[in-house]
């Protein structure tokens, strides 16, 4: 692995099995961005008093040239999981999407509007 990986465990004990899974996900991300320099993964189980089980949060910080991508989807209705494996999978799927978007923008495959540039859909006609 070329990038520096840091895994932070909050309120749960480290697991070799989960660390191996994370390393596989990082290796896959490196295929999309060859200049990925740092990766920090925070795995947290913030509350231990739920009726149905512990809620898992996964945050991923990726350092790429000129930017840092933060994947931290925590709205209760979308990204809280009782199953740590599902939380990790979903976080890395989101990281993959963001990393693909970032690399496309860096390659200028996605048009970005320059300030002052207008597109063809002007809502107010210039002359009547």
Q: In what order do the strands lie in the sheet with 57-64?
A: 4-10, 38-44, 57-64, 67-71
Q: How confident is the model at residue 77 (pLDDT cuts 50, 70, 90)?
A: very low
Q: How confident is the model at residue 105 (pLDDT cuts 50, 70, 90)?
A: confident
Two tokens at 127?
Answer: 């002359």
The better pLDDT of the pair 108, 125 is held by: 108
Residue 25 DSSP label: H
Residue 52 DSSP label: S
Q: How confident is the model at residue 21 (pLDDT cuts 50, 70, 90)?
A: very high
When mean pLDDT is compared over 25-39, 50-64, 76-90, the highest value belongs to 25-39
User: Among 21-30, 63-72, 116-125, where is mean pLDDT lowest?
Assistant: 116-125
Provide the pLDDT for residue 126. Answer: 57
Q: Is 112 left (phi over 0), alpha (psi -120 to 50) or beta?
A: beta
């Amino acid at each position: 692995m070329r990038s520096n990986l840091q895994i932070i465990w909050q309120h749960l004990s480290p697991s070799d099995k989960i660390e191996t899974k994370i390393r596989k996900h990082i290796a896959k991300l490196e295929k999309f961005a060859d200049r990925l320099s740092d990766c920090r993964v925070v795995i947290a189980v913030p509350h231990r008093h739920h009726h149905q089980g512990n809620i898992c949060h996964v945050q991923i910080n990726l350092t790429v040239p000129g930017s840092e991508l933060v994947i931290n989807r925590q709205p209760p209705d979308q990204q809280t999981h009782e199953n740590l494996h599902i939380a990790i999978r979903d976080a890395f799927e989101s990281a993959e999407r963001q990393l693909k978007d970032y690399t496309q923008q860096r390659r200028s495959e996605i048009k970005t509007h320059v300030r002052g540039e207008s597109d063809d859909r002007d809502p107010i006609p210039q002359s009547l």
